[in-house]
Amino acid sequence: MKLRNAMTAAGICMATTAITAAFAPAASAAPTYKMHTDDGNPGGRVTFQPNGDVVELCDIEADGWAVFLDVNNYTKDKNEYDYRIGGNGRCQTFRASLGQPYNLAEGDTFRFKICLQKGSKRDFCDMAYWANVN
The domain that contains 53 carries what CATH number? 2.60.40.10
CB-based contact 39:118 (threshold 8 Å) = no
Distance, in Å, from the CA atom of 67 to the CA atom of 87, rounded to the nearest integer, reads: 9
pLDDT above 60 for 8: no
Q: Once rounded to an integer, what is the mean pLDDT over residues 35-58? A: 97
Domain total for the chain? 1
Examine residue 17 and state whether it is found in any structural domain, yes or no: no
pLDDT single digits (tens) 62-97 = 999 999 999 999 999 999 999 999 999 999 999 999
Examine residue 18 and state whether it is found in any structural domain, yes or no: no
Picking from 27, 25, 26, 24, the residue whose alpha carbon sits closest to that of residue 134 is 27
43 vs 20, which has greater pLDDT?
A: 43
What pLDDT shows up at residue 2? 52
Question: What are 117's strand-pairing partners?
Answer: 66, 122
Q: How confident is the model at residue 30 (pLDDT cuts 50, 70, 90)?
A: confident
Picking from 95, 44, 100, the residue whose alpha carbon sits closest to that of residue 69 is 44
